[in-house]
């Protein structure tokens, strides 16, 4: 589970960390393991506060993925939180060695240079940037455009969603 905490300036709160397993220093969003019986939203709030000292406004689940399903079962939940505010000092000083506010617009460059650690951080930042770039519907609720989306079958008979360029256009996966 990871939290993409975005402020009013479209910046995300990241931590510069050293990850021993890959012996790499990079940027990562706060997150951790959802304890048995723990609500994932509560976990997101707990991890954010422990690692950064920040609290967050409403949380939205923006991604639920298995980053390497052919090798390991490790479900990742990614939450988008807005209106972050510092509430305390981080309780885990090792986790939050350096906190940074990074513009979401820098995501592609950070990925290209190998500076983002973890799938949750990368997917979360890309998804948050896409969500924040969407126009807001008239009723102030975001709506998903599902027009021109159809279920198709790939060569190996696994379903995939493909967006047609216009109604009635034949879409296929090759």
Q: CA 108 from chain center: how many Å?
A: 14
Q: What percent of the chain has pLDDT over 70?
A: 75
- pLDDT tens, position by position, 85-96: 999 988 876 655
Name the band, by pLDDT with cuts 50, 70 and 90, for residue 146.
very low
**Alpha-carbon span 30 to 45, nearest angstrom:** 10
Residue 103 is predicted with a pLDDT of: 96
**Neighbour count for residue 165 (Cβ, 10 Å):** 9
Is the pLDDT score of 168 beyond 70? no
- pLDDT tens, position by position, 26-36: 899 999 999 99
What's the rounded mean pLDDT across residues 80-84?
96
Mean residue pLDDT of the chain comes to 80
Contact criterion met (CB below 8 Å) for 32 and 154: no
Name the band, by pLDDT with cuts 50, 70 and 90, for residue 22.
confident
């Amino acid at each position: 589970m990871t939290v993409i905490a975005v402020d009013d300036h479209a910046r995300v709160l990241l931590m510069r960390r050293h990850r021993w397993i890959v012996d790499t220093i990079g940027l990562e969003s706060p997150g951790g393991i959802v304890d048995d019986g723990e609500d994932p939203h509560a976990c997101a709030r707990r991890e954010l506060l422990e690692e950064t000292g920040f609290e967050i406004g409403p949380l939205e689940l923006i991604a639920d993925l298995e980053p390497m399903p052919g090798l390991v079962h490790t479900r990742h939940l990614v939450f988008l939180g807005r209106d972050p505010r510092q509430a305390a000092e981080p309780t885990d000083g090792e986790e939050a060695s350096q906190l940074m506010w990074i513009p979401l617009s820098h995501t592609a460059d950070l990925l290209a240079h190998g500076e983002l650690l973890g799938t949750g951080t990368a997917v979360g930042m890309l998804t948050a940037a896409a969500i924040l770039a969407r126009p807001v519907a008239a009723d102030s609720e975001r709506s998903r455009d599902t027009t021109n989306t159809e279920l198709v079958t790939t060569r190996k008979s696994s379903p995939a969603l493909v967006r047609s360029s216009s109604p009635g256009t034949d879409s296929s996966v090759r």
